[in-house]
Structure 1
Amino acid sequence: MRSSIYILVSAVVLFLALPSSSNAQCKNFAKKICRLELSPYVHDGNYNAAILTEGEDAELFKTFYAGQQYRISVCGSETLSKIEFMVMDVDRKVLYTNAKNNFATSWDFKVENTQQLIILVKVPVSSGKNEELKSGCVAIMFGLKTD
C-alpha cells in the first residue's frame, strides 16, 4: 500500500514538473524569436506562450485602449506548419482572421474605444494521414506603436 502511494505521489510531482520546464522553454522561445516580429512596435512586456498540439486551440483575453495603435503577432515553433489566429470582440464577432490573409503572422490595428478583445489561436491538423500529431510552442505577442 505504501509503495503504491509513493508511486502515485512521485507520478504527480513528475507530471507537475514537466509542464513548467517546457513552458519555461516556450517562454524563452517567445523572448528570443517572437518578440523580434513586433518591431518597430514596442513590446508590452508580457510573454504569452504555451505548448499546443495539432487540433488544439487557446484563447487569451486582453484589454486594448482607445486611440492606441497595436500589433498582434502570433508565432510558432518550426514543427508547426501554420497557426490560425482570430481576434474577436466579447460577443465573439470576428474582427480579424489570418486564415483569410494567407496565415499572416501579425495584424496591425487601432481601436476607437477601449475594449476587451479575445485572441483565439488554433493549430490546424496537418493533412498527412497516419502521421503523429505534432506539438510546439505558440506565442501571442502584443506591441504598441509609439511615435
Structure 2
Amino acid sequence: MKKLLLFFAVALITFGAKSQECDSLVNVCYTYLAKDSKKGKVFISDGQVYQAFVDAEQSAEFKVTLYGGSLYRIATTAGTKDNYVIFNVYDQDRNLLFSNADHDNAPYWDFKVDNTLDCYVEAYLDIDKKVSGCLVLLIGFNK
C-alpha cells in the first residue's frame, strides 16, 4: 500500500512540474506576440494555447485555419533560449509553406495570408539544443 501511495505521489509531482513548465512558457510566448508593438504591429492571440510535452523522437502537430487578408504571427518557445523550437507550416496537401529552420529557428514569424487556408503546423525540438520538454506555440493576428 505504501508503494502504491508513493507511486501516485511521484506521478503527481512529475505531472505538476511539467504543467508548471508549460504554464511559464505560455507567458514567454505571449511576449513574442507583443514584440513589435512600438512599431504598430500588435498581434492578438487566436485564443488557443498549443502545447505539447515532447522528446527528441516526437513532434506536435496542430491543425489551424488562417483567414485570407490577415497578417499572422506564429510564436514558439521551449525554454530560456529563443531558438529551441523548429516549426513548419504545411498546406492541407502537405506542401511546405514555411520553416523557421531556414531562419535560425526564429522564435516567431510574421506572414500574410491572401486566401483562407487550412494548414498544419508541425513543431519539434531542435535536438542539438534541447532533447525533451514542453513546447508552446501561439498564433496571433494583426488587428
TM-score interval (norm. to shorter): 0.7 to 0.9
Query: In structure 2, what is the equivalent of residue 130 of structure 1?
Result: none
Letter in 2 for 1:68: S
Q: Which runs of 5+ in 1 are unaligned?
A: 128-132
TM-score relative to the length of structure 2: 0.77
Q: 1:48 to 1:14 in 2, by over 3 A?
A: farther
Aligned counterpart in structure 2 of residue 142 of structure 1, from 124, 139, 142: 139
**Residue 114 of structure 1: how far off its partner (Å):** 1.4
SS of 1:33 mapped into structure 2: helix
RMSD after superposition:
2.7
Q: Give the structure 2 partner of residue 114 of structure 1.
A: 116
Report the counterpart of residue 93 of structure 2 in structure 1: 91
Q: State the one-letter code of the partner of 2:140.
A: G
| Unaligned 5+ runs, structure 2 | 35-41
Q: By percentage of residues, which structure has more strand?
A: 2
Which residue identity is paired with 1:145?
A: N
TM-score with structure 1 length normalisation? Answer: 0.75
CA contact (8 A) 1:50 1:137 kept: yes
Count of aligned positions: 135
The structure whose Rg is larger is: 1
Whole-Å Cα distance in 2 between the matches of residues 81 and 145 of structure 1? 23
d(CA) in 2 for partners of 1:18 and 1:72? 31
Distance 2:85 2:21 in 1: 16
Aligned residue in 1 for 2:39: none
Residue 77 of structure 2 aligns with which residue? 75
Q: Percent identity?
A: 25
1:30 aligns with 2:32: no
**Structure 1 CA distance for aligned equivalents of residues 72 and 83 of structure 2:** 25
**Residue 22 of structure 2 contacts residue 135 of structure 2 at CA under 8 Å; is this kept in 1?**
no
- CA-CA distance at 1:115 after TM superposition: 1.7
How far apart in 2 are the matches of 1:19 and 1:82? 22
Distance of aligned partners of 1:72 and 1:81 in 2 relative to their CA distance in 1, 3 Å threshold: closer
What's the CA shift string for 1:17-72, capped at 9, x where partnerless? 56753453244223321111111311222211122222321111011111111100
Secondary structure of 1:119's aligned partner: strand
Does the aligned pair in 2 maintain the 1:46–1:141 contact within 8 Å? yes
Aligned counterparts of 1:58 and 1:48: Cα–Cα separation in 2: 9
Q: In 1, distance between residues paired with 2:18 and 2:112?
A: 31
